[in-house]
Chain A
Amino acid sequence: MSFNILNFYKRIIYYFTFDLYRNLKYKIILANFLLSLVPLFIVITISYFWFINILKQDFYSHVTWQLKNTKQSIEYFISEKFSSLRFISSVYSYEQLKDQKFLSKIFYTLKKESPDIVDLGIIDSEGIQRAYVGPYKLIGKDYSNQDWFNEIIVRSNYLSDVFLGFRKIPHFAITIKKEIPETQSFWIIRATINMDTLLKFISEINLSEKDDAFIINEDGFLQTPSRFNGNILQKVSFQIINPKDSVSIREVRRADGNWVKCGCVSIKNSQWILFTQIYSSPYTVIQRIYTNELLIISFVSVLIGMFIMFGIAQNIVNHVKKADEERENAIAQSEHASKLASIGRLAAGVAHEINNPLAIINEKAGLMKDLLEISNTDMSKNKEKFISLINTIFDSVNRCRTITHRLLGFARRMEVSIEFIDINEAIKEVIGFLEKEFMFKNIRLKLELDETLPLIETDKGQIQQVLLNLLNNAIDAVERDGSVEITTKMKGEDFIHISVKDTGHGIPKEKLKHIFEPFYTTKGKGTGLGLSISYGIIQRLGGKILVESELGKGSIFTIELPIKYRDE
């Protein structure tokens, strides 16, 4: 099983890397892809989070502001109620207020200013309601067992939780304790307020259908009606984390299963906590846009981009391939031209060489004819002379044969074939071509060939082509009356060095780096390709050509070749 997977991966890698052009194509596509996608992705991600953050901040500050506003209204409202009661209890005495009629007057005056007051009662230190104005029959009611009574004994003011009062309408009560220092006693004034105003405050919080706003007490019982969290006086299902005087907002899962942003703040001087739950926030919309619409847009544009990119990459790669092919063709053609030129130069040399034996044949044959025709020589009486003349003709023919065979042998080796050769012998063969030229130009040829060199695994024809090129260059550099020295020796264990040293005009330093470039020549004639082709040949055979030269002194060209054939 794992073998198959490994094989599969190998095949994929092979597919992409073996064909260099396909390799290039996919590299271009991948590079473009990453180059365009990575920044895009980074920008989208950053702007997403940044954007969401900003909207979130905005939303939170809005909710906070609303809650704070409402909280302040409620607190003000409550403290205002307490102030009224405190005022009454400060201005009037217990005796005065105990009077039912008096209390009524106070009550109705109060009610005119604050219509939400439902009843007003005076309670003594035993918990008995001594005076009462309101819709119920509560005079004489004993409150001593009530929680609020026990609370108020300890505190001086008390805000009760909501309870269902008259006609099951929700009310809350505010109670003030007034100390009587003379008798070490106290009395209580208590008013019941209906929820209308509070509810009005709450409703002013901007809410949409799925949102909710309500007040609960510290134990979690609803003080106002809630849309989604239960009815009034029911306990809410979510956990109440310690409310603070400042607004805190967190994400909560509501009873109906939805996640809501829950803001809460405590109401001062009460056990109440104001809550708001927002279902939809603007920034979740962004989330949806991003994940749905933006994703689709990105995907589609990436797809289009990929499509175009494939086309472009293929186009580029096709051009590159074509250019490579054309370049290879051009190089092959110019190499061929250079080969022909070198053969041409050889052929010219050969023609010169053959001319002499031909001239000899011409004169010997001519002489035989002259002897027979002009001198009337009797051939039978001068057998030796004629035979000698004829033999000279044969000798000349042999000379021609040597020369033509040398050229033919060289031409035959135009095809590449790697074999073990004796480099010194190859050098001497090449020199055979150039001997006469050396002689006529009076250039001294010195050979320092190491006879202990091993056989070299390389292409004889190509090496000889390079040697011919270097030697022709040496002859051209010297022109007349100098010397050319050819040296062969080992370089380390794996290489040999063949050096061609001339006493010619040398190459200036700034030109040295150009000499192996194609079409570069300082001669007036020639293709300028000789050295560049030689360089290429040696490189392909696993070696290199080095040059040292000094202007006015001469040059040394060294071919370094590996003994064992290695591809470039």
Chain B
Amino acid sequence: MSRAKVLLVDDEIEYVNALAERLRIRNYNVSIATNSNDAISSVINNAPEVVILDLRLPGLDGIEILKIIKKINPKIQVILLTGHGSTEKIEEGIKDGAFEYVLKPIDIEELIIKIDKARKMLYRNNLD
């Protein structure tokens, strides 16, 4: 079974590399972005199915990026990645269309489950 096509967005390069490699070991198709510009280009060019998006990016607000992604392709499922348990931000994100969230440091199994669910959701929506 092919695994989801994932875009990882986080400003810490070491983090994002390690996590990407861990996902690739598990057969996910992972691309990386470390800033909002690259993230948006990647969404346009690579058409990921699931975007894992860190809310604390320097410069642009994570929520703003979420909205842009959803505007580009509303079908893309976004999983919010956040270090702090700021429930308002997460709630706001969910309201703006985010599918799920995970807290850093993550449990890889939990992330995988959520990525698969997100992909299913995407295809279920496609069928509608």
Measuring CB to CB, which residues of chain A are less than 8 angstroms from any residue of chain B?
A: 348, 351-352, 355-356, 358-364, 366-367, 370-371, 374-375, 389, 392, 395-396, 439-440, 442, 480
- Of B15-23, B70-78, B113-121, the one contacting chain A is B15-23
Contacts A395-B14, A442-B58 aside, 7 further interface pairs with beta carbons under 8 A come to A355-B104, A360-B14, A360-B15, A366-B108, A367-B25, A370-B25, A374-B26
- Indicate if the CB atoms of A440 and B25 lie closer than 8 Å: no
Q: Known: A355-B83, A355-B84, A359-B83. Is A367-B14 also a contact (CB below 8 A)? A: no
How many residue pairs link A and B with beta carbons under 8 A? The number is 64
- Nearest residue (CB) in B for A396 is B14
Interface size for B (C-beta < 8 A) is: 21
Q: Known: A392-B14, A440-B56. Is A362-B25 also a contact (CB below 8 A)? A: no
Q: Known: A364-B14, A367-B22, A370-B25. Is A359-B58 also a contact (CB below 8 A)? A: no
Measuring CB to CB, which residues of chain B are less than 8 angstroms from any residue of chain A?
A: 12, 14-15, 18-19, 21-22, 25-26, 56-61, 83-84, 104-106, 108
Give A385 to B20 CA distance when docked, in angstroms: 15
Q: Which residues in B have their C-beta under 8 angstroms from that of A361?
A: 105
- Indicate if the CB atoms of A363 and B22 lie closer than 8 Å: yes
Q: Which residues in A have their C-beta under 8 angstroms from that of B104?
A: 355-356, 358-359, 362
Q: Known: A355-B105, A370-B25. Is A363-B19 also a contact (CB below 8 A)? A: yes
**A-B pairs with the 3 shortest C-beta distances?**
A363-B18, A362-B105, A355-B83
Q: Which residues in B have their C-beta under 8 angstroms from that of A348?
A: 84
Q: Which residues in A have their C-beta under 8 angstroms from that of B21?
A: 367, 370
Give A356 to B84 CA distance when docked, in angstroms: 10
Give A451 to B35 CA distance when docked, in angstroms: 35
Give A389 to B105 CA distance when docked, in angstroms: 17
Q: How far is the CB of A368 from chain B (nearest CB, A)?
A: 9
Q: How far is the CB of A382 from chain B (nearest CB, A)?
A: 13
Q: How far is the CB of B41 from chain A (nearest CB, A)?
A: 20
Q: List 26 A-B contacts (CB under 8 A).
A: A352-B56, A352-B83, A355-B83, A355-B104, A355-B105, A356-B12, A356-B15, A358-B105, A359-B104, A359-B105, A359-B106, A360-B14, A360-B15, A362-B104, A364-B14, A370-B25, A371-B25, A374-B25, A374-B26, A389-B18, A395-B14, A396-B14, A439-B58, A440-B56, A442-B58, A442-B60
